[in-house]
């Protein structure tokens, strides 16, 4: 799918409306037909086909404590402030066990997101959108530590792929964006939202390119159900971009 071939038109909320939604509920689900114009307002998505193709051939995540070989991953870090958004030196991803009981307390060195992707129009449209939205929610923050993850979750006959193998969780940041890039030949992958006490706040499934979830990580927990192949003889995968913002 090209950036120009969006889903049928739906109302596109303003940044202020999205901020109000996050303040009220702690999470917002955006259909791709609403999300795409928000990104295009930041920058033309001229490199979208190359952006999508960047999920092909990614290396396996070798840090999976459950022994799973269903996740592929690339990673980058940025800094965002009033002067703009710049990529930072490559560094490990670290989460404490309180946020990731499966793979926490390990400095995980993932291969870097390719320079052409990390500096491209689509990536900077996504980062610019997040900076405007999350910055409006926390105007006192002068500088953000931004982490970006390319994830491919693969499913095969007899082995479901787990988008959130650590279970329902927080990420240990301030705000999160999950953007669907592509899904192929999979069933399920339903996002669930919960209160810190475990109460169910709702669920939805990212099915179309640009479908997105926005999360206030202090207020809600989130998880995604395992994905399974529809046709077990064919490749089956779910590609997402995850962006987290934390006050630096």
**Domains of the chain (ranges, CATH numbers):** 15-247 (2.60.120.620)
Q: In sequence order, what are the beta bridge partners of 126?
A: none
Residues of the chain with pLDDT under 70: 1-8
Residue 213 phi, psi (nearest 5): -120, 135
pLDDT digits (tens, 9 = 90+) for 9-61: 789 999 999 999 999 999 999 999 999 999 999 999 999 999 999 999 999 99
Backbone angles phi, psi at 72, to 5 degrees: -115, 150
Count CB atoms within 10 A of the CB of residue 28.
Answer: 20
pTM of the prediction?
0.95
176 conformational bin, left if phi > 0, alpha if psi -120 to 50, beta if neither: beta
pLDDT at 104: 85
Task: Tell me how crowded residue 137 is: count the other CB atoms within 10 A of its CB.
Answer: 17
Cα separation of 90 and 74, whole Å?
A: 11
């Amino acid at each position: 799918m090209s950036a120009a071939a969006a889903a049928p038109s739906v109302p596109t909320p303003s940044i202020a409306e999205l901020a109000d939604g996050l303040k009220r509920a702690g999470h917002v689900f955006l259909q791709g037909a609403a999300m795409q114009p928000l990104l295009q307002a930041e920058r033309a998505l001229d490199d979208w086909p190359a952006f999508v193709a960047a999920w092909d051939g990614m290396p396996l995540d070798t840090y999976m404590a459950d022994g799973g070989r269903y996740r592929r991953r690339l990673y980058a870090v940025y800094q965002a402030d009033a002067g703009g958004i710049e990529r930072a030196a490559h560094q490990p991803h670290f989460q404490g066990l309180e946020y990731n009981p499966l793979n926490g307390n390990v400095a995980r060195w993932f291969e870097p997101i390719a320079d052409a992707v990390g500096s491209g129009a689509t990536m900077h449209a996504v980062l610019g959108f997040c900076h405007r939205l999350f910055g409006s929610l926390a105007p006192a923050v002068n500088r953000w530590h931004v982490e970006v993850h390319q994830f491919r979750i693969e499913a095969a006959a007899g082995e479901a792929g787990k988008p959130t193998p650590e279970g329902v969780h927080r990420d240990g940041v301030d705000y999160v964006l999950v953007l669907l890039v592509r899904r192929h030949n999979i069933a399920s992958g339903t996002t669930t939202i919960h209160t810190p006490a475990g109460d169910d706040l709702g669920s939805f499934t990212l099915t179309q390119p640009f479908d997105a979830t926005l999360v206030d990580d202090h207020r809600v927990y989130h998880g995604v159900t395992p994905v399974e192949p529809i046709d077990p003889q064919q490749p089956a995968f779910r590609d997402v971009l995850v962006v987290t913002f934390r006050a630096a």
